[in-house]
Structure 1
Amino acid sequence: MRLPFRAAALEVPMFSVKEDGRRKHPSRHRALAAGGAVLLLLLGAACTLGGGDGSGALTFWTPHVTPDRLDQQEATAERFTEETGIDVDVVAMAASDQNQALVTGAASGDVPDVILLAPDQAAAWTAQGLLDTDTAGAVVAELGRDTFSDNALDMVTTGGALTAVPSDGWGQVLVYRTDMFEAAGLRPPRTIEDIADAAEKLSSDGVAGIVLGTKPGDPFTTQTLEALLLAGGCDLVDDAGEVALEAPECARALDAYARMADASVGGDQDVETTRAAYLSGRSAMLFWGSHIFDELAGLAPDFPPTCGECADDPAFLAANSRVVTGLYPPGAGASGDPDEARQYGLTLNLGVPRGADTAAARKFIEFLLSDGYVDTLAVSPEGRIPVRMGTKENPTAFADAWTSLPTGEDEDARRPLSDFYDEKTIRGIVEGAQSFRRWGYGTEQAAFAGALAAQNTLSREVGPLFDGADPADVARRMADAARDVQADVE
């Protein structure tokens, strides 16, 4: 069924929150994320929209819009130009602004050649016939399907066909204070029940047991909620495609969430307040995105660690924190098989619109995922974890290179994460990225799941849970709200 574009609301990845929070200067580039700039696109800035105008330049849309990250992407594009003779126009455009610009460009015949996009965008645009799936499949076949994460490929597969080529991603992680866990005699948590138990035990007058998103209707809470429900064995739909949020697993997961919230810092918590609480030493655990790793190490001057010990040692939190990536749902084997663990993650993928210069686009994507891949990941290593581990000849080449990539906001003080975290932690981050999961992605429910997340539907219903409402009642309310979105999408 061809979807009306209004129903294909696109999810804004959390990395954009962090980028916007760090922006200090207006972009020096063609940053088209602002509404006025998009309006110019819609009024016919064809030479900027795409490479199909005969200009000879390939056009690349990227949601990484801050000046420093644009500089890095343009440098990588210049390397490609030197090798191939194909010019690249790097256009900064936030994911939320790509939608109408692509539809309008497709109608006039002017489209970009390559877009860095999220799985829900791939699903929505494929349903509208806007993406060239043949090119995506050809690139993966050329580079080697076995070199990519199966889960990442599944996230952008619709009707058995690849809609885009996975590049990298970030995952939701649990960060915990090892010194506090050891003092309390606690083992690293494996399940959301473990997290809730530890949060209650570690909570005190001066330190919260955990801090995590609880602000109703907030995108960060939407991500937190889906991550916890996934880890709790709660599925969005059943085998028949019917909303399944009223299942007992969902109510149990919501109960664990309520217990965590009760042990958290008081009040509505969002992406900024949760980070601040952990960086200040006021929380024993933090549920956040992998973007936190450089900040824990004191490499982000805009968000410095402020705990009591951090004054003498800015990297104190990195040295005294460990990370849990995947969490095990109820009934998972006691052996701890990593294939059974669930980690919420969002991938970035390289898509080619119909009407693009497919030959040039294919060359560019293959370059970005081979000779230029390490440079691509270097744009933001803590938030761009490889989902292509290596090549046919060297299966771990890119994963190994990622561990040495410098990160941090201060160009003169950038250092690899491996300088601050032990080998087990670094390996866990990379291996966890190969098992990212999301509701609906890679299935016929992808557009529904994307719209549900983009509209923050479920997190709008979560408030009563933190005020003592029965988790089963909250689950029913969420299910009813989800059915309304599903009906609108279908």
Structure 2
Amino acid sequence: MTRTPTQRLVAPLAMAAVIGLLAGCSAGTPDTDDTGTGEASGSVVFWTPQTTPDRLAAQEAVAAAFTEETGIEVEVVPMAGADQDQALVTGSATGDVPDVILHSSSQTGAWTSQGLLDADAATATVETLGLDTFNEHAIDAVTIDDQISAVPSDGWTHLIAYRADLLEQAGVDVPTSVEELADAATEVKEKLGITGLAFGTQAGTASATEGIQSIFQSAGCDLVEDGEVTIDSDACTEAAEQFLRLRDSSVAGDFDVTSARAAYLNGDAAMLLFSTHILDELAGLDPATPATCPECAAQPTFLADNTEFITVLDEDDPAQYGAILSYGIPTGANTAAAQKYIEYVMSTGYVDTLAVATEGRIPLRNGSADNPTEFIEAWGGLGIGPDQQKTSVDLYGEDFVDGMRDGINSVYLWGMGTPDATLAGLVSSQGVLSGQIEQLYNGVPADEVTAAMKAAVEEVQAGL
């Protein structure tokens, strides 16, 4: 499907509509049935940022199956993440809150710090499902003050797609570190005259924000540790130097997400740093974003046939940039029914929930206690692309699913699961680092650039 990592899944709702939705919240809904047995009863109001028609329909179908099994009605309310923030604060003040919210990891930290999430309920739900069945990094992302504050559902990560035929032609090995990646990209440019690595580098853009964070953290750089801004560390300065080499491997100037993808689809780049949303497009399955390489007209799957993937760049210290969605139970919700609903959508209804957007919804619960790889294996058998006629296994083989499991199990975001998550989220959303990166392009030494980055981050920190 035609999506980029920085695109939001839905358009923001008007604030008036958001406030209007609060009428559908579960104020005063009891946690137990009228008999006092402690069993789940009543209904569930579920807010979701997955609001495109096909995704909404899939979630409603899962909710209907849950209702049929339990008798608990579910109202699926589409709401963008930014609108969730305001609506939850407003609802909390009036006692009108939903019962379950699908949300991002940055929201988990912010809402927990404001006392808006029921961490006890989330922890109990994870324990019921089995803590060991979850992606460890995802659990870390939602663990605040040593307590699990939400239930990880699914996400996506960055990966590096590379033309195996072109790397072989250039005589370079598959890289296993950021430095090796820069070496390979530089050599491809010199020997083949095409872009080595296409990725977001346009200063001051969301594309560059993702590119910087992805490369920097894969190089062992941390933005902040225990409240101390560390973006000027030796590891980060080295990361900046390698970032510049990677940026300079382009023969077409700076890229945003769209132009980077186009360069690879055109056959003008040997490697591409992108999210897992690229999987269907490489195979020519998305008419809106076709593969346009010279060989693709005669062989629509040429890129998929010749592309391999690096899903974890540094296996010794994996930290793949990505996104995490989790189910949260607000304070004051119908806890028993909410827990039962989340347990259902993370087990019986899990695969159906993932299926509508396979490329971008990789399971964060790997399997069940009886079958530890049940859900990641099922993901590999789900259709991808608008028509969902082919699976990732069909296109890329069984080993690809193992690689994707390793990649999603290495998902990481600066500050996640720590009090620094709020600062890291603001630095990302405000494009603080991408606003400083142009200095690097203009010849300012890397250590001076990371020092400037540190000052800019500390300015944000001072305003918290």
Using the size of structure 1 for normalisation, the TM-score is 0.88
User: What letter matches 1:303 in structure 2?
Assistant: T
CA 1:309–1:272 in structure 2 vs 1: closer, same or farther (change >3 Å)?
same
By how many angstroms is 1:182 displaced? Answer: 0.9
Q: How far apart, in 2, do the equivalents of 1:94 and 1:283 lie?
A: 34
- Structure 2 distance, partners of 1:206, 1:89, is 55
The answer on 1:17 being equivalent to 2:3 is no
Match of residue 166, structure 1, among 146, 149, 152? 152
Among candidates 436, 452, 455, match of residue 477 of structure 1:
452
- Residue 320 of structure 1: CA displacement? 0.6
Distance 2:206 2:234 in 1: 25
Question: Within the alignment, does 1:406 sit opposite 2:383 as a pair?
Answer: yes
Secondary structure of 2:76 counterpart: strand
What is the number of equivalent residue pairs in this alignment? 450
What does residue range 48-197 of structure 1 map to in structure 2 within 5 Å?
A: 48=24, 50-52=25-27, 56-197=42-183
Pair 1:387 & 2:364 matched: yes
Q: Is the 8 A contact 1:46 1:53 kept in 2?
A: no
- How many angstroms apart in 2 are the aligned matches of 1:428 and 1:215? 29
2:211 to 220, 224, 241: 224
Match of 2:400 in 1: 425
Q: Residue 446 of structure 1: which of 417, 421, 425 is its match? A: 421
> How far apart are the structure 2 equivalents of 1:376 and 1:91?
15
1:210 to 189, 197, 202: 197
Unpaired segments of 5 or more residues in structure 2? 31-41
Unaligned 5+ segments in structure 1 are 1-12, 21-32, 329-337
**Contact preservation (8 Å) 1:14, 1:220:** no
The CA distance in 2 between the partners of 1:61 and 1:155, in whole Å, is 20
Task: Give the drift of 1:467.
Answer: 2.6
Distance 1:158 1:110, change over 3 A: same
Amino acid at match of 1:377: L
Cα shift readout 1:32-85 (whole Å, capped 9, x = no counterpart): x5342x32333x44333x133659542111111211111111111111111111
Q: CA deviation at 1:408?
A: 0.9
| CA–CA separation in structure 1 for the residues paired with 2:9 and 2:112 | 28
Matched letter for residue 374 of structure 1: V
Contact 2:204 2:431 (8 Å CA) reproduced: yes
What is the 5 A alignment of 1:301-316? 301-316=287-302
Could you say what the CA RMSD is over the residues aligned between the two structures, in angstroms? Answer: 1.8
Equivalent in the alignment of 2:329: 352
Contact 1:212 1:264 in 2 (8 A): no
Take 1:159 and 1:134, find their aligned partners in 2: how far apart are those partners? 12
Kindly indicate whether the alpha-carbon contact (under 8 Å) linking 1:76 and 1:372 is maintained by their aligned counterparts in 2. yes
SS in 1 for 2:224: coil
Partner of 2:410: 435
Cα-to-partner distance string for 1:375-427 (whole Å, 9 max, x where unaligned): 111121111111211111111111111110111113xx521111110222221
1:210–1:265 Cα contact (<8 Å) kept? no
Q: Is the 8 A contact 1:73 1:379 kept in 2?
A: no
The answer (yes or no) to whether the contact 2:201–2:247 under 8 Å persists in 1 is yes
Which whole-Å CA distance do the structure 2 matches of 1:94 and 1:397 have between them? 30
How far apart are the structure 2 equivalents of 1:68 and 1:475? 43
Q: C-alpha separation between the residues in 2 aligned to 1:399 and 1:339?
A: 22
Q: What is the SS of the residue equivalent to 1:284?
A: strand
Partner amino acid for 1:17? Q
Q: Tell me how far 1:119 sits from its aligned partner.
A: 1.1
1:299 CA displacement: 1.6
Normalising by the residue count of structure 2, what TM-score does the alignment of the two structures yield? Answer: 0.93
Shift of 1:19: 4.5
Q: Distance in 2 between matches of 1:136 and 1:293?
A: 32
Distance change in 2, residues 1:245/1:16 (3 Å): closer
Could you tell me which residue of structure 2 aligns to residue 29 of structure 1?
A: none
Question: Does the aligned pair in 1 maintain the 2:312–2:406 contact within 8 Å?
Answer: no
Q: Match of 1:407, as an amino acid? A: I
Pair 1:47 & 2:23 matched = yes
Q: Does 1:254 align with 2:240?
A: yes
Displacement after TM superposition at 1:134 (Å)? 0.7
Structure 1 Cα separation of the partners of residues 178 and 124 of structure 2: 40
Q: Which residue of 2 aligns with 1:466?
A: 441
Matched, 1:236 2:223: yes
Which residue identity is paired with 2:439? P
Which stretches of structure 1, 4 residues or longer, exceed 6 Å deviation after superposition?
Answer: none
CA distance in 2, matches of 1:340, 1:247: 17
What is the identity, as a one-letter code, of the residue corresponding to 1:47? A
Greater displacement, 66-75 / 122-131? 66-75
Contact 1:132/1:353, CA 8 A, preserved across alignment: yes
The letter of the residue matching 2:207 is F
Give the 3-state SS of the residue equivalent to 2:44 in structure 1: strand
